[in-house]
Amino acid sequence: MNAGEKLTPQIREIGHFIGGKHVAGNSGRFGEIFNPTLGVQTGKVALATKAETEQAIADSMAAYPEWSNTSPLTRARVMFRFKELIERNMDELAVLVSSEHGKVLSDAKGSIQRGLEVVEFACGIPHLLKGEYSDSISQGMDVYSMRQSLGVCAGITPFNFPAMVPMWMFPMAIACGNTFVLKPSEKDPSCPMRLAELMIEAGAPPGVLNVLNGDKESVDTLLTDPRVQAVSFVGSTPIARHVFATASLNGKRVQSMGGAKNHMVVMPDADIDSAAEALMGAAYGSAGERCMAISVAVPVSEKTGNELIEAMAPRVRALKIGSSTDNASEMGPLVTRVHRDKVKSYVDLGVKEGASLVVDGREFRQADNPNGFFLGGCLFDNVGRNMQIYKEEIFGPVLSVVRAKNFEEALSLPNEHEYGNGVAIFTRNGDVARNFANKVQCGMVGINVPIPVPLSFHTFGGWKNSMFGDMNQHGPEGVRFYTRVKTVTARWREGVAPKADFGMPLSR
């Protein structure tokens, strides 16, 4: 082997995880798995048929009666053990994420930690499932409510967070007494498969969590099968709309998270260096492949815009771009060659539309990995609100600067955009910050916080075309989504039975 030459990785074949064990796919169809740093195929994943999907649902159905009748305390103990196993295997899980998605190890570990926080929240399920009680609402009559599980639930998750987003879904669903069929992205399925193994090791019975790899055929089966009671989805807006419409039409409860175009307003009184550092991580972390990435910076006033560009340009040029498993890397490759080329085409489009390309990362090549799916950081200035690069989600390391003359113009940008996932403002003025938080039309707001992802005991969800459905993910709304309320009115009365009353029942 010549110096510098790298061995081609062996192609692994991944099937499904059904009934507590790995099973091979039988469709004969496969999706390709790549190492984005090397730019080579490392595996292939079976794509399930309708029949295989139905079998996974049947397996979850079979596990549901016993699991739903297991005490909340027992389910919590499973979650405690699952939490310990994730912590013990954190390094292994992070490598799986980095080697198949391309995010750097520090980012991979951080994303797993954010998923783990939902597991920690789910450990409190005995308290979270407590209902309400009203005694003596009438003579000898009490009313109480209880939260009960739904049945089989399904989760369809994206490539950009193969650990975190699944853990936003199945731990809460399972802790509430449901069973779960997870359909992860076919681009990076290894970490979800490992999480399923750890759930079994933690004590969850076989079938409580099934992992089914697939594409549209398996997704549409999950959306239409009457045995599936609820569907959680995270992905692009067109698919989110399809998931919501199809699953709702088939009588399911749905939370469907779509795309985003997140703005960060920088007021004239903001510390420019602090804002620039915040933007670097928020715009270029995970190569911009985050639904909460800041992809639009809105400096207020010409002076602020000039100062921000002056601060950002050298930082973007100095990005340490390299192997996703190199601890020195700040940004790794994009997930696939196809996606890298799509992002690059948006940069081409921005130049054609007349935006000023201050930093051009299109020709970046990573010396040690020339075939990797790398793209350098790109920075646009003078982007107009009618440009396609402003309107559409690019999902890559591309930051657009849209200048605003004043606060009102800056506020109008996120308010008039079709997406309403997250937004941030950097300012030293509390009155401005409070006014912005009250008036901005987005689901999650950061004040001097660039990526305002709520912690697990609050809920995650956007507005407008960023979210379809009525209930957000994790936190208290996660418990409400994966359960339904039953209200019991009970009377225990001594003596003679009351006479028939044909009027509206009233409290007496």
Q: DSSP string of 361-399?
A: -TT---TT-TTS-----EEEES--TTSHHHHS---SSEE
User: Over the chain, what is the mean pLDDT?
Assistant: 95
**What CA–CA distance (Å, rounded) separates 207 from 224?**
20
Residues of the chain with CATH 3.40.605.10: 12-258+466-487
- The yes-or-no verdict on residue 495 having pLDDT over 70 is no
Instruction: Tell me if residue 291 is catalytic.
Output: yes
pLDDT in tens, 161-178: 999 999 999 999 999 999
Neighbours of 130 (CB within 10 A): 12
User: What are the residues facing 134 on neighbouring strands?
Assistant: 143
Which residues have CB under 8 Å from 127's CB, separation 6+?
Answer: none
The pLDDT of residue 132: 92
Q: What are phi and psi of 236, to 5 degrees?
A: -75, 160
Give CA–CA dist 78/87, Å, rounded. 14
> 121-151: per-residue pLDDT in tens?
999 999 999 999 999 888 788 999 999 999 9
The model's pTM:
0.94
pLDDT in tens, 206-220: 999 999 999 999 999
Q: What is the pLDDT of residue 236?
A: 96
Give the pairing type, strands 419-420 and 463-464: antiparallel
For residue 401, list its beta bridge partners.
297
Q: Is the pLDDT of residue 267 over 90?
A: yes
In tens, the pLDDT along 337-368 reads 999 999 999 999 999 999 999 999 999 999 99
pLDDT of residue 312: 98
User: CATH topology for 12-258+466-487?
Assistant: Aldehyde Dehydrogenase; Chain A, domain 1 (3.40.605)
Higher pLDDT, 2 or 150: 150
Residue 199's pLDDT is what?
Answer: 98
**Which of 491, 449, 468 is closest to 242 using CA atoms?**
468
pLDDT value for 1: 37
Catalytic residue of the set 153, 291, 378, 442: 291
Every domain of the chain with CATH number 3.40.309.10 lies at: 262-447
E strands, 64-189, in order: 133-138, 141-149, 152-156, 179-183
Question: Token pair for residue 56?
Answer: 């996974």
Per-residue confidence (pLDDT) for residue 370, from 0 to 100: 96
Looking at residue 135, what DSSP letter applies?
E
pLDDT at 470: 87
Cβ atoms of 313 and 359 within 8 Å: the answer is yes
User: HEC profile for 255-311?
Assistant: EEECCCCEEEEECCCCCHHHHHHHHHHHHHHHHHCCCCCEEEEEEECHHHHHHHHHH
Question: How far apart are alpha carbons 92 and 89 in whole angstroms?
Answer: 5
**Rounded CA gap, 180 and 25, in Å?**
19
Q: What is the pLDDT of residue 139?
A: 79
Question: Given a cut of 80, is residue 271 above it in pLDDT?
Answer: yes
Given a cut of 80, whether residue 452 has pLDDT beyond it is yes
pLDDT at 3: 39
Q: Which superfamily, per CATH, for 262-447?
A: Aldehyde Dehydrogenase; Chain A, domain 2 (3.40.309.10)
Per-residue confidence (pLDDT) for residue 6, from 0 to 100 = 52
